[in-house]
Structure 1
């Protein structure tokens, strides 16, 4: 009020009564009124000042309201406010306008806020549709996650499955909630799948632990048996025993990780002890057997030149028998040469055996008789068909005669083949 009195001193005295404006008026005592569709309402008093100044004081308040309305409209149109928050601010501002101690077109200012209603409804509808789309997308995403969780729960990926469930859970937490009934039902399925997997995994690992302990006990027993064989000089029998132990070792499966490698190192060392000693002895023997190898190779070279190819079975049979007597008179050969030497001997034996079989085939009296009988059968059939053809021609049935002579040609071809087979047999 002191500020207004100061303004009064500077401005001088005003007229006794100010003319009303469109939206307000000022009484001689400085009382200011705003005019709205509801009528005239007192908004305040500014005594001892010019009426225009008094009016200006309250119109500036209206200008401030206009600024607030403009800013609110901009925020609504930009979508920076949610429709609900915007409605709250619109209602609050409309109330402020209705009660404002200001002079201006308050009705139009309030109406401009009412004009935001369709825009807000459209934004609200868009948000509802967006929420619905998000709801549906979230529901589908969670259903897919549940399906993946149930798939993991039914599988046997005991190590990777844990990480996959952890990743799925993080994805689930990052998604918004949907309607309570659907969300609870999907979560129940997801949680149940995780529980099933966890139980199966624990049971699997418990069984694995039990199996690994059984494997450890079996391998300890195998090592105990191997210790009794490591220094044996019964090379053949002990080598077979070690092979059996290795078969049992593999069948036992893995022992606990912390002892499996140690057990294998123990077993492998025992094997190396035995096979190292055996190999040393065998290497020494192989040096002694080298002389036998040279002798047997020389015999083979000579026999292959003499016997092959087999021309006379009786002579080849005698040569082979003489060769084998000399060959077997020599001792063993080195192990790495045994297969090649035996292969050459078998080739000689097979060549003589094949010649014997061929000789028997040529001289087999029963087979020769069967071949002769076949030739005689074809000859008899040819003569029979020739007689039938002559008879057909005699009665003028040339078509039948032609068919019979065609059959004769076929049988003649078969008989020639049978004669060749018969000629292959010796007299």
Structure 2
């Protein structure tokens, strides 16, 4: 019989293992010596030790699932419980029990981790839904559309929740995207309608602009072009493929008209500049008539100058007041000379002036006598009042005397 601390072989070749519950039969060995039998079953024990060690390592260092780990533990435990090895079987059971606890702990950790990930995924998806619902009200069509597409990609990268929660959140998310798409579609449909209306309006404006391009009615036509430009700006933009072509036609029509007007105006400006030069020469001749000596000769000369003046056409508008003012000044001097000559040679006017002068002179003499009398009587107040009246009458008399002198008297 052979034995060691954990087993023995009896004389019949039966192999036993020692346990806390007593000896358990391991098996029967007839092929060799008892020592060889113990060595064989000890090697089987070492195999279980190695197998448990490998499983412990897998549990600690890999993502072995709880289910697979438990199946492996149960498989080894069946071998230990079958007592087909010689060694400290209780130690193996203890290691398996500890491994079960580890697996359970890992299972709980993973459960908590999955719960945490689920909470984070729920929060992330709720945030995506909130942002999508806000974007659904945006009018920033390009930016909001691009952001919504990015949100879809983010959503796809997040873990799924429980079916009910995931479906509810996805429904809100999808509804927000649909609402935005509907609003954007309506907006661009309206924009297309507005651009089509703008195209029709601008077609009409172009037609009128082209019809006016050959007009020589410069003022009214230029004014109408300004009105057409105002209407053009108010019409808004047409579709891109029409806008540039319409503008080129509209602008081209204006250019034809304004180029023709500029050519005509350039010729007119040159003519008016020459007219100005001629009228300045006439104004200079007219100014040489001043001061007027021989009124009859001056009047004849001015009449001749004025006829030549009228025969000359227009001058530049900004130069007109100055050159016409020079002629008007000579004309006024001529009129004043005529009026003075008339007054000087008019007998009735002379008689009226002499009569008025005599009346004023008598009034002045009378006032002086009254002043002298008032002062002689010591009535200074009355004398002062009469002197103020005398000042007014004397001024009128001086003016009447001056007028009488113009008649040569």
- Which band: TM-score by shorter chain? 0.5 to 0.7
Range with greater deviation from structure 2 (227-236 or 282-291): 282-291
Name the CA distance, whole Å, in 2 between partners of 1:284 and 1:25: 138
Q: TM-score, normalised on structure 2? A: 0.63
Instruction: Provide the residue aligned with 2:150 in structure 1.
Output: 167
The partner residue of 1:215 within 193, 198, 202 is 198
1:193 and 2:172 matched: no
The partner residue of 1:247 within 223, 230, 241 is 230
Largest Rg, 1 or 2? 2
The partner residue of 2:4 within 21, 26, 49 is 21
Q: Residue 116 of structure 1: SS of its match in structure 2? A: helix
The partner residue of 2:72 within 81, 89, 93 is 89
* 8 Å contact kept, 2:2–2:35: no
Q: Deviations over 1:350-391 (max 9, x none)?
A: xxxxxxxxxxxxxxxxxxxxxxxxxxxxxxxxxxxxxxxxxx
Instruction: Provide the residue aligned with 1:127 in structure 2.
Output: 110
Trace 1:274-285 onto structure 2 (pairs within 5 A).
Answer: 274-285=257-268
Name the CA distance, whole Å, in 2 between partners of 1:289 and 1:113: 120
1:47 and 2:33 matched: no
Instruction: Provide the residue aligned with 2:217 in structure 1.
Output: 234
Instruction: Provide the residue aligned with 1:182 in structure 2.
Output: 165
1:205 and 2:188 matched: yes
The partner residue of 2:251 within 268, 285, 303 is 268
Q: TM-score, normalised on structure 1? A: 0.61
Q: 1:54 to 1:245 in 2, by over 3 A?
A: same
Instruction: Provide the residue aligned with 1:373 in structure 2.
Output: none
Name the CA distance, whole Å, in 2 between partners of 1:219 and 1:58: 104
Deviation at 1:202, TM superposition (A): 1.4
Name the CA distance, whole Å, in 1 between partners of 2:277 and 2:126: 80
Q: 1:185 to 1:48 in 2, by over 3 A?
A: closer
Deviation at 1:65, TM superposition (A): 0.9
Trace 1:58-73 onto structure 2 (pairs within 5 A).
Answer: 58-73=41-56
Structure 2 runs not aligned, ≥5 long: 281-308, 323-409
Deviation at 1:154, TM superposition (A): 0.5
Deviation at 1:84, TM superposition (A): 4.5
CA RMSD of aligned residues (A): 3.2
Q: Residue 228 of structure 1: SS of its match in structure 2? A: helix
Structure 1 runs not aligned, ≥5 long: 1-17, 298-325, 345-427
Q: Residue 135 of structure 1: SS of its match in structure 2? A: helix
Q: Residue 32 of structure 1: SS of its match in structure 2? A: strand
Instruction: Provide the residue aligned with 2:99 in structure 1.
Output: 116
Q: Residue 203 of structure 1: SS of its match in structure 2? A: helix
Instruction: Provide the residue aligned with 1:105 in structure 2.
Output: 88
Q: Residue 5 of structure 2: SS of its match in structure 1? A: coil
Range with greater deviation from structure 2 (123-132 or 48-57): 123-132
Residue correspondences, number? 294
* 8 Å contact kept, 1:296–1:330: no
Deviation at 1:121, TM superposition (A): 3.7
* 8 Å contact kept, 2:14–2:29: yes
Q: Residue 140 of structure 2: SS of its match in structure 1? A: coil
Deviation at 1:229, TM superposition (A): 0.5
